[in-house]
Structure 1
């Protein structure tokens, strides 16, 4: 029967999966959240992208992404099976302050958050980190490396963000599956260490 999806098509969860974890992928406007989820999701990601309009002029500052023409208005969603028994559900939040009301619903049931930061716009990360901390969600920092930006050391970024010593800080490229996977693995290991 050609119309039925096979279990190995990656759409359905394996029967062996015992644990599902909700992970938030958060960050300021135009930091790469939608790209990250699209890179990591094993299923076609759900996106709520809309064309940026003149109404957002002066509110949404695309200085870090001058060619950006769309923006997330509700959420992004993806899924990643980490092992035979563990699957991550990835929820991306909008990066603009005007969508902060979405956070309350998005944080319910979240095990942890991956905070994407742009090393050239670290100041825009503080409101996001404040929200994650407000909701009591443990997090890791993923420094999204953009083309043409100077490389700051992870220690310099840790210091600039005034992070606790145990907070993981990793480098990633949201377009690259391996480095993005490494950032999720760092977060999951951190979350596991907090449970022990």
Structure 2
């Protein structure tokens, strides 16, 4: 499959802002419908998260149905928002995107000004994250892939996931539990470490 090139060498030296002196930065949480974006923002946010969850009704039957998201009866219709302080100098403002295709038109506005992204993946439905990865690559937003550890989801070696997602060798792949604050924080720290690596490479280029 061909979903673009996620190799950070394809990123312009002006596309990834340097983190030195950063106080507040925007990070987006993306992925397909029902992969755990709202759960992740809610779990890690140090403030009560702003959500736009609405109850799914019969009017959405055949539109929002997702065979891998059993028991899901609400859906994000705009975005989720939360905040987490990494340290005294760095605060992340988290924006979760809606997953359904009919709300994808909102993504460009949510991506605007983002320093980086976490792509949440459900290995039972890996294909639902392809569009998110493609859009991030098109907008040259650096990202890490976080595999949400659903109890009944199959586990694959990182090399297999990298091949399936057509990821560059340097793009981090981590495992997280979107319900667990510490686990979500670790995924965000992996993103920050990746961004520092990109910034350092730009400075020495």
User: What is the TM-score normalised by the length of structure 2?
Assistant: 0.85
1:19 Cα shift? 1.0
1:86 Cα shift? 0.4
C-alpha distance in 2 between matches for 1:145 and 1:18: 31
Runs of 4+ in 1 over 6 A off after TM superposition: none
Aligned mate of 2:146, from 132, 142, 148: 142
Q: In the alignment, does 2:107 pair up with 1:103?
A: yes
Instruction: Determine the structure 1 residue equivalent to 2:17.
Output: none
RMSD over aligned Cα atoms: 1.2
C-alpha distance in 2 between matches for 1:177 and 1:158: 25
Instruction: Determine the structure 2 residue equivalent to 1:51.
Output: 55
Q: In the alignment, does 2:25 pair up with 1:24?
A: no
C-alpha distance in 2 between matches for 1:91 and 1:30: 16
C-alpha distance in 1 between matches for 2:86 and 2:148: 21
Aligned mate of 2:159, from 149, 155, 159: 155
C-alpha distance in 2 between matches for 1:32 and 1:112: 18
Query: Secondary structure of 1:63's match?
Result: coil
Higher strand share: 1
Structure number with higher relative contact order (C-alpha < 8 Å, ≥ 6 residues apart)? 2
Query: Secondary structure of 2:79's match?
Result: strand
Instruction: Give the number of equivalent residue pairs.
Output: 180
1:18 Cα shift? 5.4
CA shift digits 1:28-68 (9 cap, x unpaired): 00000000000000000000000012222112133222100
Contact preservation (8 Å) 1:154, 1:171: no
Aligned mate of 2:119, from 109, 115, 123: 115
User: What is the TM-score normalised by the length of structure 1?
Assistant: 0.88
CA shift digits 1:89-109 (9 cap, x unpaired): 000000011111111211111
C-alpha distance in 2 between matches for 1:145 and 1:138: 22
Q: In the alignment, does 2:205 pair up with 1:192?
A: no
CA shift digits 1:97-143 (9 cap, x unpaired): 11111112111110001000101111111111111112211110000
Query: Secondary structure of 1:100's match?
Result: helix
